[in-house]
Each structure stands twice: as structure tokens, then as C-alpha cells.
Amino acid sequence: MKAAVGVLFGWLVPGGAYLLLRRYAQFAVSFLLVSGAFAAGVALRGASRWPQLAELRGLDGFTALVAQAGALTKALAGGPYLLALWRDGSPTFLDGRLHEYGTTLLVLAGLFNLLALADALELRKAKRP
């Protein structure tokens, strides 16, 4: 049960799993990295929405799968992703002039948070006697 709470908290608060382990420096770096990348991605109007069927029409299966995987990866950023959805940052998946750069930063934020969460879980396992 404790691991599930740690995973949920680590997803919602970027680097939050480090905070639960009392690794404050790693928490601060992870929080700033994920939040900064996500904020830059939103500022560049990166897509924070799931691609709609109309937007995927005409794409081959692999390209559509990559677009959906990218959308899923952005959700890994946790709290910042939920905040972007709530604030309605991008109305559609393909909206915005600097869509490509912003979307890349949003994906990176999700991957950074996943990396921090995985590392914190490994540190938790190593800490057990």
C-alpha cells in the first residue's frame, strides 16, 4: 500500500517520490526539471490533448501510434499535465505555431518524471534491510 501511495504522489508532484524518501536535493532538481520543461512546452503551445480521430486521419498506423504514445507520455508529467488540461492550454492536438518544440518539451517533462519515479522506487528498494 505504501508503494502505491508513493507512486501516486510521485506522479502528481514531479519528483515527489524523492520527497517521501527525504532526498530533498533530488526532489528539488526533479521538480524544477519537470515543471520547467512542462511550463516551457505549454508556453510554446505544445499539444497537451489526446489526438482526435480526425487529426489522425490519413496517417499510417505507426505514425498514429507514435502520436498516441506521445500523448500518453505527456500524461506521465502528472500534476503539471492535469493543470494544463484544466487550464485548457491547447484546444486540439495540432494547435499552435510552435507545436513541435512545445510538444517535445511536454513529452520530455513526462519522461523526466517517469525517470525520477523509477529511480526513487529503486532507492526505496535499496533502503530496505
Check residue 97 and give its pLDDT: 47
**Domain range summary for the chain, segments of one domain joined by +:** 2-127
Q: Are 124 and 7 in contact (CB under 8 A)?
A: no
Check residue 29 and give its pLDDT: 92
Q: Where are the alpha helices (DSSP H) in 1-129?
A: 2-12, 16-20, 24-43, 53-56, 61-75, 79-87, 99-127
Mean pLDDT by 10 residues, the chain (129 residues): 80 90 92 89 76 85 85 84 74 58 83 89 79
Check residue 93 and give its pLDDT: 59
Check residue 98 and give its pLDDT: 55
Angle of the 2-12 helix axis to the 99-127 helix axis, nearest 10: 150
Check residue 22 and give its pLDDT: 92
